Amino acid sequence: MAIYAIGDVHGCFRTLTGLLRQLDLDQSEDCLWLVGDLVNRGPASLAVLRWAQRLEAKLGERFVVVLGNHDLHLLAVHRGWSEVRRKDTFDEFLQAPDRDELAEWLARRPLIHRDGDFVLVHAGLLPGWTTADACAWGRRVEKGLQQRERAQQLLRRAGKGGDVDDPLWRALGALTRMRTLTAASEFCEFAGPPEQAPVGCVPWFERRDRRSREQTLVVGHWAALGLRIEPGMIALDSGCAWGGPLTAIRLSDRTVFEEKNRDL
């Protein structure tokens, strides 16, 4: 059994299809993981969600998708809790006859998944968290997202300017939005290359006090970071949302697969 992980798809369905052709994926045995942000920016979020729902029906628990910040934004827009933004590409999804079914499927995805020494999460883990802590916080936030009033609070805050005094929002922000942190572990609103981070803002994975170093975190979210493979972390967002390639990795031997963008 092999585990393949794919970076942020962002509605780039043609690129995803090309990448899948490269993988020697045995649908009767192998696992396929996606780091979140299946939707938005690219032209075919609807096709990606339909593909994912169908594949889960075939692979069952061997197909894992964790939620990213763009997935959460789509859920907020679908439920009428957030406005469509200028760069959003949700129109086809919002007009689809199966949009409610697909949104319900997406809403049931986890925020974090652990399998042995590998942890799949969209953005990252707070330095003070062990992986056990992170999984516990993930389950708490997932429970909150299943409660209408609490979900409305969390999803409305899922963008910039969330309530830092709300521990569930802070956990959600870490798992789905975090890139750099201050010395006090507050989020910095910075999305550029890590070497250009403002003074006092350090990439979360470079914090010396990070307690999750014994596991390998498989993440996406940070397009300007790009593909990065190092002890304790595999970052897979190679910028498909901005015309870059889509990247996959076979976790057992770190073999990398890349597909040139066919959508943007």
> pTM here?
0.96
Read off the pLDDT of residues 135-177 as tens digits, 9 standing for 90 and up: 999 999 999 999 999 999 998 765 555 566 899 999 999 999 9
Residue 205 pLDDT: 97
Read off the pLDDT of residues 10-44 as tens digits, 9 standing for 90 and up: 999 999 999 999 998 999 999 999 999 999 999 99
The amino acid that residue 85 corresponds to is R
Residue 190 maps to which CATH number? Answer: 3.60.21.10
Residue spans of the chain under pLDDT 50: none
**Residue 55 domain flag:** yes
Name the residue range of residue 183's domain: 3-259
Residue 158 pLDDT: 56
**Residue 18 domain flag:** yes
- Alpha carbon distance 86, 188 (integer Å): 23
Total domains in the fold of the chain:
1
Residue 62 pLDDT: 98
**Residue 123 domain flag:** yes
**Residue 111 domain flag:** yes
**Residue 127 domain flag:** yes
**Residue 264 domain flag:** no
With 0-12 / 13-18 / 19 or more C-beta atoms within 10 angstroms meaning exposed / middle / buried, residue 160 is exposed
**Residue 221 domain flag:** yes
